[in-house]
Structure 1
C-alpha cells in the first residue's frame, strides 16, 4: 500500500511539473484540404508533448478525413453565415478547378484565390466574439501556416509572438533566406541547382518576377488591413513574415537541393510519419496474388482526385493493364466513368492506408501527384516515384525528384497509355531508381532527432528564451540592395569612375600646359 501511495504521489508531482511547464499555444488554419490535415498533426504533436493547444479552424470545403480524426486538443470551429459561406465555397471551388483544368500554376488564378481568402479574413477579424475569446485566453505562442496570410494578421491583432510552418519547399516564399542565385533555383523556374550560364540568367530574371508576384498576392490584403487596423498602426504583411520567431519548413535535404539556411529556419519534413500497422487482410490477399512482381500504389491527393477527367482515368487504367504488378489505386467509385472497365490487375479503393502500403515489402512504385507530404512519405520508405503534377508546388517538387534520380515526372496534358506504361516499367525495372530511393531513405532516417522532436524542441527553446531575436540576423531587415552590397558596389564604381575622370582632366590640363610652354620656348 505504501509503495502504491508513493507511486501515486510521484505521478501527481510529475503531472504538476508538466502542467507548470505547459504553454498555451494557438494554432490557426483558415485554409482547407491538406492544410487542415497538417495543422491537425502539428496541434496533436504539441498536445502530446505536454502543451495546452487550442486550434482555430474554419469549416470550409475540401476537408477529407479530417473530421474523422480524434483529437485531444481543443478545437474552435467557426464559419460564415450560410449564404456567405456558400458563396465563398463556390468561389474557392471554381478557382481550384481553373487551376487544375487550365494550368498547374497560373499566377492570376492564385491571385484570385487570395482575393477570396482576404474576404474570408475580413469576416474573421470582424467577429468580436471570436477575437475577444482569443484575447481572454492569453496564449503564450501562436503557430500558423505561412500560406494562410490571414493568420499573420490575427497574431498581430492579438499581439502575440508567433512561429510559422511553411508547408512547401523553402524557396516558394520570400522570407529573406540567403538567395544564392547561381545555384539556388527560384520557385517555378523548373531549374535545378546545376545551372549553366543561360540558366543563371533565367534564374536571375525570375527572382524579380517572383518578388513582384509575391507582392501582388500580399497586396490583396491591403483592404482588410485598412479596415481592421487603425491608421498609423497598419502592418505590412511582408514585415510580418520577417517578424516570425521561427520558420519550420516542411522539407528535408534528402529531397531538397542543399542551400544556406538562417538560424531561425528549421527543416521538419516528415511530420506525418506514423507507426506502421498491418494492412487490411483483403488488401494483403490482393497483393499476394502478384507474388514477386509486387504492386504499384497510386494516390493522387484528395483535391486532384476530385478533378480527374474521364480521359485521364481511361489512359491510366489502360497503362496499368500492361503491368505484371498489381495496382492499388485510390479512386472513389463516384469518380470512375461507368463505361470504363477496371483493369483486372487494378484494385480501386475509396480510401487506403498510404503510409502502411509505402512501407510494405512488396511495393515497387508510387504513382503520386507530387505533393510534399506524399513525397516525404515515399522517401521515408525508399520507394521510387512517377509523378503526375496537377497544380501548385507539385511540378517543382518533381523537378527535384527527377534531379536526384528518385523518379520521373509525367506531364498531365500529354499522358497517354502507351508512353505512360513504358515510363512505369522503366522506373520499376531500372534498379538505379530503387538504389537512389534507398540512399535518400538512409539520409532521411539518419537525423539524430525526429521531425516531431525538432518541432517541439525548437518551440520549447523559443518559449524558454522569450523569443527568437537571437536567431535572426540583422540582414533580414535590410533592403535587398543593401544585403547584397549593391550600394557599396555602386559607391566604389562611382568613386573609381570619378577618380579616373579627375585624373584624365588633370592629365589633360598638364599636357596642355606643357604644350603651351614648349611653344613659348620655340618662339
Structure 2
C-alpha cells in the first residue's frame, strides 16, 4: 500500500509548488489608438475571458478611431487624457502627416518625429503620480504592453513590474531584440525586398542592415532625456536594456504572411487575434451587397485611423476608378467630409466605420483594398480574400511586398494611382483566379496552425507567470559584451595566430633561401 501511495504523494507535492493562475492580476498598457488599441483591447479581452483579472492603462485622444464607438469592456480601464490644446495640436500634426503619406513623403524621418512626440508625451505620463501610485498599489503580477511606443517600457519599469512586449509591426526592432537576421535571406525593415534576393539586392540589404543600427541610435536619443529625467543616475537603463529585459516578445504576425526566418525561444508569433469567423452583416448592408449579383463587392479601408483622403486629386482618381468596375464598393470614408463638388460613383457606399472582419467573411467578397496594416492583412488571409494595397507608411510597404510574394495580391503607391490603372488592377485581381487560389492556400496555412493565436497568447502569458519569468528563454547573448557576441576577440586571436604563423613561415623561407644561396656561393668559390 505504501508503494501505491508514494506516486500520489509525489504528485501532490509537485502540485503544491505550482502557482495558481486563477485570477492572475495583469496590467495591459496601450498609449496609442487605431490598430494598436484594437489589438491591445483584444489581448485584454482574451485574458479576461480566460479567468484573469485585467486592467488596461490607456491614453485617450492620440490616434483615436474616427467613426468607431468604443464598446464596453469586460476588463477594468484606467485612462489619462492630454489637455485639449495638446490634443488639438496632435490632430493638426496628424493631418499634416496624412498629407505627407498620400504625397509619398512619409520616409524614415517621420518615424523619428513620431518617436520624439512619444518622448514628450512620456514625460507627462511619468509625472502622473496619482495614477502610477494607484496602479502600483494594485500589485499586478505582470504587465503586457504595446511595444511600438517605448514609453510603455518606462511605465512598467516605474511600476516595478515584469513585462511581456507585443509588437504590432512585425520584426521592426529585430536588432534591439537580438533576433538572428542574416541579410542574405532576411529582408531588413524598409528594404522593400523579398527573401529571394539577387546579388545587388543582397548588397542593398546588407547596407540597410547596418543602417538599422543608426535607426536604433536615433530612437534611443529621442528617449534619452526622459529616461535621464525620471530614473536615478546610478541605474539609468537604455532603450536596449528595456527591450532585452522583456520576459517574452509576442509579434502580431504569422508565417502565412511573413517570410520564414530564425527566431529565439522568447519570441513567438500570435498574428490573427482579430481575425475570426464572420457574423452576419446588418440588413441594409446585406441588401446593398445583394444588388451586386454575381459580380460581388469589394471593401476599401485605408486603416483604422484614416477616415478621409486629404489629397483631393487622389480621391477623384479612386472614385472614378470605382465607377468603372462591375463590383459594388463599400468604402470606409467619413461621409461628412466627402467633397460637395465630387459626385460619388453610383456603385459606392460610404460608411464612417466598417466591421471589416464580417465583410471579409461574406461569400460575395471579391477584394480588399487596404493600406497594408498587419491586422487587415491577417483578416484577409483568414478569410482567403485577395488584396490590392495602397501603402502609406512604416511597415505597410514591406507587408504588401510579402502579400505580393505570396501571390495573393498587388500594390500601388498612392502617387501612382490613376483612374485607369487603378481600375485595371482591381479587374485583374478579381478576374484572375490565381490570386484567389493563392489567398485560399494562405488561409489553409493560417487556419491549420496547431494552436490558435488566442490559445498561444494565454498559454505563453500563463507560462511566464507560472515559471516566474522568461529568463530560461532569453539567450545569453544579452549578457555578452558586443565584441564577444560577434566573436571579435576570437577572430582577433585567430588572426594574431595566423599572423605569427605566417611570420615564422616567411622567416624560415628567408633562412632557407639564405642558406641555399650561401652554399651556392661556396661551391662557386
Under TM normalisation by the shorter chain, which class is it? over 0.9
CA contact (8 A) 2:278 2:362 kept: no
CA contact (8 A) 2:32 2:62 kept: no
- Is residue 2:42 matched to residue 1:41? yes
- Cα offset, 1:450, TM superposition: 1.2
CA contact (8 A) 1:104 1:390 kept: no
- Cα offset, 1:353, TM superposition: 2.0
Match in the other structure for 2:184: 182
Distance 2:450 2:208 in 1: 36
CA contact (8 A) 1:462 1:468 kept: yes
Give structure 1 regions of 4+ aligned residues with deviation exceeding 6 angstroms.
none
SS in 2 for 1:55: strand
CA contact (8 A) 2:104 2:414 kept: no
CA contact (8 A) 1:384 1:437 kept: yes
1:338-377 matches, cutoff 5 A: 338-377=340-379
Corresponding residue to 1:392 among 391, 394, 413: 394
Distance 1:94 1:482 in 2: 47
CA contact (8 A) 1:38 1:272 kept: yes
Instruction: Kindly tell me the number of residue pairs found equivalent between the two proteins.
Output: 506
Match in the other structure for 2:81: 79
Match in the other structure for 1:319: 321
CA contact (8 A) 2:48 2:75 kept: yes
Distance 2:504 2:96 in 1: 61
Match in the other structure for 2:473: 471
CA contact (8 A) 1:166 1:247 kept: yes
SS in 2 for 1:470: coil
Match in the other structure for 1:214: 216
SS in 1 for 2:401: helix
Distance 1:104 1:450 in 2: 38
Distance 1:171 1:97 in 2: 21
- Cα offset, 1:491, TM superposition: 3.2
CA RMSD of aligned residues (A): 2.1
1:116-127 matches, cutoff 5 A: 116-127=117-128
SS in 1 for 2:178: coil
Corresponding residue to 2:504 among 502, 515, 522: 502
Distance 1:95 1:487 in 2: 49
Change (3 A) 1:458 1:70: same
- Cα offset, 1:428, TM superposition: 0.6
Corresponding residue to 1:223 among 209, 222, 225: 225
Distance 1:140 1:45 in 2: 17
Distance 1:456 1:344 in 2: 46
Corresponding residue to 2:244 among 242, 245, 258: 242
SS in 1 for 2:316: helix
Q: Which has the higher contact order (CA 8 A, sep 6+)?
A: 2
Change (3 A) 1:304 1:66: closer
Change (3 A) 1:85 1:328: closer
1:194-205 matches, cutoff 5 A: 194-205=196-207
CA contact (8 A) 1:143 1:163 kept: yes
Distance 1:482 1:369 in 2: 42
CA contact (8 A) 1:250 1:270 kept: yes
1:435-474 matches, cutoff 5 A: 435-474=437-476
TM-score (norm 2): 0.92
Change (3 A) 1:76 1:429: same
